[in-house]
Amino acid sequence: MSQTLSFIDRIGADGVAMPLADTDAALREGEALHRNFRPHIEGDYASYMQRMAAEGAGLTQLFDAGEVRAIAVWRSYLTTYCGRRFEIDDLVTAEGQRSKGYGAIMMRALEARAKALSCDAVLLSSATSRTGAHRFYHRERFAIVSFLFAKPVR
């Protein structure tokens, strides 16, 4: 893919921003982890992520020991019910890398991004079956504040 995806950023295991010279390579390096979490992503991954970027999404990767260990997809927008919202679409740590602190490091980086964007709240949705993730979110001081209702339209 020849287009630069400026919506990608990368942090190290210390939470500090890392330079990212080749965004195409970064996408390829994180694709397997992201597809493992979201196997329904259709077609070419880079093109799909480019479409998300065009709609305002950001992608943060946590990189350690030469590999992408965690990924977050996020976006920020204004709402009537909570002001400027920073929503985390996806937050996933590689299966064999969980409980090593990567999720907490990623969360700190995302919260810093939310503050930099003048957001009023950080929100995320998590499937009811992901009880391990729920324990993590509670440890990170997230509260369950609503139900998310869904209805397929196609």
Listing DSSP states for 46-92 in one string gives: HHHHHHHHHTT-EEEEEEETTEEEEEEEEEEEEETTTEEEEEEEEEE
For 69-119, write each residue's pLDDT tens digit.
Answer: 999 999 999 999 999 999 999 999 998 888 899 999 999 999 999 999 999
Count of other CB atoms within 10 angstroms of residue 62: 25
Q: Half-sphere exposure (CA, 13 Å, Cβ side) for 54?
A: 7
- pTM for the structure as a whole: 0.90
**pLDDT, tens digit, for every residue of 17-37?**
999 888 889 999 999 999 999
Closest to 111 (Cα-Cα) out of 82, 72, 144: 72
Local confidence band at 121 (pLDDT 50, 70, 90 cut-offs): very high
Report how many helices (DSSP H) and strands (DSSP E) the chain contains, helices first.
4, 6
List the structure tokens of 59.
Answer: 């992608």
